Amino acid sequence: MRYFWGRVGLFVLTLWAAVTLNFILPRLMPGSPADAAIAKLSQNGPVSPAMRASIEAQLGVPSGSVWSQYLSYLGQVVHFDFGVSYSYFPQPVSSLIGAALPWTLVLVGSVTVIAFVVGTLLGVVAAWRRGTVLDTVPTVGGQFLSAFPYFWIALLLLFFLGYVAGWFPTSGAYSQTATPNWSLSFFGDALDHAILPGLTILITSFGGWIIGMRNTMVNTLGEDYVTFAEANGLRPRSVAMRYAARNALLPQFTSFGMVLGGVVGGSLLVETVFAYPGVGLLLFHAVTNQDYPLMQALFLIITVSVLIANFLVDILYGVLDPRTRQ
Amino acid sequence: MSLLTVDDLSVVYDQGHGRAVEAVKRVGFTLEQGEFVGLVGESGSGKSTLGYALTRLSKPPARIAGGRILFDGSDIAALSIEQVRTQRQGGFAMVLQSGMNALNPVRTIRNHFMDVFAAHGHVPLGARAARAEELIAKVELPASVLASYPGELSGGMRQRVSIALALSLEPRMIVFDEPTTALDVLVQHAVMNTIRQLQATEKFTAILISHDLGVVLEATERVLVMHDGVIVEDAPSRRILSAPEHPYTRMLLSHYGDPRAAEVSVPGLSRRASGEVSVAAPTTTPSPRRAAREPIVVSNVSKVYPARRRGAAVRAVDDVSFTLEPGMSMALVGASGSGKSTIAKLVTGVERPTAGSIAFGDLRIDRLHGRRALKRLHADVQMVFQDPYAALNPLHTVEYILSRPIENFVELRGREVRMRVLELLETVGLTPAATFAGRLPHQLSGGQRQRVVIARALASDPQVIIADEPVSMLDMSLRAGVLALLEELRENRGVSMLYITHDLLSARLVTDRIMVLNKGVVVERGDTADVLQRPQDDYTVRLLDAVPNPARP
């Protein structure tokens, strides 16, 4: 319990630090968004005071002390009020993110979990049957596939499976003719669109899990407790899973936590290649269009989700490894 | 019929390209039901390899290359993997060397028992909890241990749990592979007693593998002495002691002695009650460079470690005072946790005392500030570490390892550094020095590595050497050589030495004064021979009783 509350405390502290940094950093930059917009306009001609006032009103010029700004900022963060986007004016940032987030969470999230589970299981088998075909094929194959740049895999899949064979749609999250709803047919359509980007992420990420798990488990197989379990005549499956794999899983979970936190950031390149309307694509648009409110909100959300994922893995680690609880 | 018949057994380690090293060479012996035999040899003798082969736990690259092992009349090599597995209940069991790692860190002790019961089904479901408690009581542990994770238990408790787990198989034979080696002296003694009692009451056949002939002779009725893969002597324990036949057995025996005796000697070193020392002829001409001129004065020193998450603060050292005079050698003895290594850290400035002062001449060690002051201290006070395998960087040659402190502490450069390296190697008896200078640590034996560690400590030409268990990781036959070297350095160079150990025999051999520490408190001090011959404190007596002594019935 003490471990749990310690982790909660640490989480709250880092969360506060991240939110505060997000407040401070833009204020450390010289000038303001309004100044930048006015400077741009003034290249084409003089800017009248009325224009200046309207731009400032549009973008919002901070008023009051830094402290009161900070408090109102915290209030906005709590209510998910991140202002209005420049590039998708006048849509609020929160609704843009709200629209993109589910697509990313479902696509990248589920594929990440599948890659982790499949890769780890293959790694267990590879280590347990070391030196056999069950070891060499997944290990070498996984290494081979994860060595490819994933946007290149994305282009290959897009070209061959999407364009040449025509099996899967090449862009978007659902057909242009469909409207999002909870019907089975829409679900099938969305799944159809998710397969190519999902496959890309799966192919390039599960090799790492295989190799990570295999190598850690080869080490735990050499531990005395595994030899002792064998000396006590435990069943091979029990030795492999409860003794060797169970301990090899611990470092594997640490890496999983880090990857999981990155899920919310989306898979920028894959989403761009497939024009998939997730957070990655949104971030890409925000950066190319200098959409500061959107960028700031996205960065905050990505940071916070990394923190949350690490917190969850920490808690899970406490459950999995009694030594951390002492 | 014998329970175990080993016939012409050879075990090899495959090294690839068709080459193999023979670790066990055509070994043969038989074991009767209920016998307790010892298997003794130094590191590399093949004793553990043999133990693993007997319990069919050999793993590649180890491979049985020839011969047969008959257990209860059947050839265990002929059994299928599943047959081997099921026969482990009621057949042969093994207790591994380091009880530290023999238990799964993420499973409770109770689950370890349940795993065994589930694997063999020899205890009915309803009786399992009671059986686990019964077994844990047999190894003298409270039932509350069952709810613990291995990490929550001490080394001795973990080893007892391992023994209880082996017993849960109801085996006819148990191989104990160095069951007490990694444990504290006092705990070692207690665990060995438990093993002996269990063997007597449960009547299993036991093989005790150990590097320590003393421990084996105390416990067993019969001893197999193994050297270089061959069993060189197989005789009743009594006869091994009274009339050892093989020169190797005699050599092993010669390294035992009673620290209480009036005169103690091992090959190359001996010491009489008066404290007079005789050392084997020095290998190099004495070159008294700089005798120790200044004492280390430790006054009323305490060290308290703040409380960790649970539990109270630890008072590792409690109001200790002593003076290490120039040229003196003093032993600091105690079981693990007695605070002896903490004192070494305080004296070398690695840690600061919570209270009290430590002075070396005009240098206040307890108040050192900055790198320069530390460097000044370490030019004169150097440390020899316990584990020569961990104390040397495996990536650097001996020459590099030795030249670093020379360049650091002594104003020598270029060719002179190399000359000094060779001189140091000769001082510690690694000759021809030129060939050792180019080697990497893994190309040296344990004894040679420890000599390099000592040479490194000598590089700055120190006045004081703090030796923390310098021989505990070494084979018996190598210990005397390293001890004699330390003694000789003191004789020839006037270096004073603080010798930290749990081994009273070696303390008796190389020190004049002794301090016995128990839980951070000095319980006894005085002339080494006096204290060990006429111990006043109960703790000193317990330490003395824990010294393995082959001659004791």
Cα first-last separation, chain B: 30
Average pLDDT score over chain B = 86
- Which stretches within B255-348 are classed as H helix? 340-347
8 Å CB contact of A232 and B152: no
Fill in the DSSP letter of residue B69: E
Q: Compute the count of residue pairs across chains A and B with CB atoms less than 8 Å apart.
A: 89
8 Å CB contact of A232 and B97: no
pLDDT confidence bin for A138, thresholds 50/70/90: confident
Alpha-carbon distance A263 to B108, whole Å? 35
Q: Confirm if A137 and A144 have CB atoms less than 8 A apart.
A: no
8 Å CB contact of A2 and B104: no
State phi, psi for B271 to the nearest 5 degrees.
-150, 135
Query: A117 or B362: whose pLDDT is higher?
Result: A117
8 Å CB contact of A225 and B151: no
8 Å CB contact of A224 and B115: no
- Examine the pLDDT at B463 and tell me if it is beyond 50: yes
Q: Tokens 């001490």 sit at which residue?
A: B154
**pLDDT score recorded for residue B58:** 86
CB contacts, 8 Å: A230 with chain B = 57
Chain A (204-223) residues lying within 8 Å, Cβ to Cβ, of chain B: 223
Q: How many helices (H) and strands (E) does chain B have?
A: 19, 23
**pLDDT score recorded for residue A214:** 93
Question: How far is C-alpha B1 from the chain's CA centre?
Answer: 38
Alpha-carbon distance B279 to B265, whole Å? 10
Q: For residue B16, what are the β-bridge partners? A: B19
pLDDT confidence bin for B553, thresholds 50/70/90: very low
Alpha-carbon distance B357 to B351, whole Å? 12
In what helix (H) or strand (E) does residue B320 lie, and over which residues does it extend? strand B314-324
Q: Confirm if A274 and A170 have CB atoms less than 8 A apart.
A: yes
State phi, psi for B131 to the nearest 5 degrees.
-65, -40
- Say whether residue B122 is in contact with chain A using an 8 A CB cutoff: no
What average pLDDT score do residues A124-134 get? 90
Q: Confirm if B322 and B511 have CB atoms less than 8 A apart.
A: no
Q: For residue B264, what are the β-bridge partners? A: B271
Alpha-carbon distance B62 to B57, whole Å? 10
User: Is B312 strand, coil or helix?
Assistant: coil
What average pLDDT score do residues B535-547 get? 89
**pLDDT score recorded for residue B93:** 92
What average pLDDT score do residues A290-309 get? 86
Alpha-carbon distance B469 to A13, whole Å? 45
Q: Confirm if A85 and A96 have CB atoms less than 8 A apart.
A: yes
Share in percent of chain B as helix, strand, coil (round to 5): 40, 25, 35
Q: Which of B97, B105, B168 sits opposite A247 (nearest CB)?
A: B105
CB contacts, 8 Å: B166 with chain A = 231-232
8 Å CB contact of A232 and B166: yes
Query: A281 or A173: whose pLDDT is higher?
Result: A281
At A238, list the tokens.
């029990």
CB contacts, 8 Å: A225 with chain B = 101-105
Question: How far is C-alpha A295 from the chain's CA centre?
Answer: 16
Q: Which of A227, A235, A247 sits opposite B106 (nearest CB)?
A: A247
Query: B281 or B221: whose pLDDT is higher?
Result: B221
**pLDDT score recorded for residue B310:** 57
List Cβ neighbours of B337 (8 Å cut-off, separation of 6 or more).
Answer: B184, B519
What average pLDDT score do residues A221-229 get? 91
Fill in the DSSP letter of residue A105: I
Fill in the DSSP letter of residue B205: E
- Say whether residue B309 is in contact with chain A using an 8 A CB cutoff: yes
Answer whether the bond into residue A138 is a cis peptide, omega within 30°. no
Q: Confirm if B313 and B306 have CB atoms less than 8 A apart.
A: yes
Q: Confirm if B79 and B87 have CB atoms less than 8 A apart.
A: yes
Q: Confirm if B286 and B426 have CB atoms less than 8 A apart.
A: no
- Say whether residue B102 is in contact with chain A using an 8 A CB cutoff: yes
Convert the pLDDT of each residue in B502-533 to its tens digit. 888 888 888 989 999 998 899 999 999 899 98
Burial class (CB in 10 A: 0-12, 13-18, 19+), B423: middle
Q: Which of B160-174, B182-196, B378-392 has the highest mean pLDDT?
A: B160-174
> Mind telling me how many Å the CA of A9 is from chain B's nearest CA?
16
Answer whether the bond into residue A33 is a cis peptide, omega within 30°. no
**pLDDT score recorded for residue B232:** 92
Fill in the DSSP letter of residue A271: H
- Which stretches within A222-278 are classed as H helix? 224-231, 236-238, 246-262, 268-273
8 Å CB contact of B93 and A229: no
Convert the pLDDT of each residue in B374-432 to its tens digit. 888 888 899 888 888 788 888 999 999 999 888 888 877 888 888 889 988 988 888 78
pLDDT confidence bin for A266, thresholds 50/70/90: low
Tell me how crowded residue B400 is: count the other CB atoms within 10 A of its CB: 14
pLDDT confidence bin for B282, thresholds 50/70/90: very low
Fill in the DSSP letter of residue B177: E
- Which of B115, B148, B162 is best to mutate for the A interface (most A CBs within 10 A)? B115
pLDDT confidence bin for B181, thresholds 50/70/90: confident
CA atoms within 13 A on the CB side of B241: 20
Looking only at the bridges linking them, the beta strands covering B277-279 and B269-272 are: antiparallel
Q: Which residue of A has its CA nearest to B86?
A: A233
CB contacts, 8 Å: B165 with chain A = 228, 232
Q: Which of A231, A238, A323 sits opposite B94 (nearest CB)?
A: A231
Question: How much is the pTM?
Answer: 0.82
What average pLDDT score do residues B431-459 get? 85
- Say whether residue B88 is in contact with chain A using an 8 A CB cutoff: yes
Alpha-carbon distance B15 to B18, whole Å? 7
Alpha-carbon distance B213 to B41, whole Å? 8
Question: How far is C-alpha A204 from the chain's CA centre?
Answer: 15
Whole-Å CA distances, A120 to A117, A145, A226, A239: 5, 16, 19, 17
- Say whether residue B83 is in contact with chain A using an 8 A CB cutoff: no
Q: Name all domains of chain A by residue range, CATH numbers in brackets.
A: 99-325 (1.10.3720.10)
Query: A179 or B169: whose pLDDT is higher?
Result: B169
- Say whether residue A246 is in contact with chain B using an 8 A CB cutoff: yes
Fill in the DSSP letter of residue B181: T
At A76, list the tokens.
């906005």
- Examine the pLDDT at B226 and tell me if it is beyond 90: yes
What average pLDDT score do residues B77-92 get? 89
Q: For residue B233, what are the β-bridge partners? A: B225
pLDDT confidence bin for B366, thresholds 50/70/90: confident
Q: For residue B364, what are the β-bridge partners? A: B359
Convert the pLDDT of each residue in B116-150 to its tens digit. 999 999 899 999 999 999 999 999 899 999 999 98
**pLDDT score recorded for residue B241:** 86
Q: Which of B55, B168, B310 sits opposite A231 (nearest CB)?
A: B55
Q: Which of A225, A232, A243 sits opposite B116 (nearest CB)?
A: A232
- What percent of chain A is modeled with pLDDT above 90? 18
